[in-house]
Amino acid sequence: MKKMTYEEAVKRLEEIVEQLDSGKLTLDESLKLFEESTQLTAFCNKGLENAKLKITELSKKEEE
């Protein structure tokens, strides 16, 4: 997977959903897109978790 931002990954996920919903893909194409989407989802989840940790750290510093 190429290096991308969180926003780019979300956009790509939206594109994949549209392609899968179209019903015009072969089984192999669908499987490849599904595999890509699981990687993108993991990437996005990691990004969100990192953001959450940073917000928690910043909030704790503010409270001190």
The tokens 């072969």 sit on which residue? Answer: 26
Is residue 44 in a domain?
yes
The count of structural domains within the chain is: 1
Residue 50's pLDDT is 96
Which domain range does residue 41 map to? 28-64
For 28, the token pair is 């192999």
Q: Is residue 56 part of a domain?
A: yes
With respect to residue 61, please indicate whether it lies within any of the assigned structural domains.
yes
- Domain assignment present for 20: no
Candidates 45, 54, 52; CA nearest to 10 is: 45
**Does the residue 1 lie in any domain?**
no
18 domain-assigned: no
Per-residue pLDDT of the chain (64 residues; tens, 9 = 90+): 679 999 999 999 999 999 999 999 999 999 999 999 999 999 999 999 999 999 999 998 887 7
Q: Which residue has the tokens 């993991």?
A: 42
pTM of the model: 0.84
pLDDT of residue 37: 98
**Any domain includes 38:** yes
- Is the CB of residue 48 less than 8 Å from the CB of residue 54? no
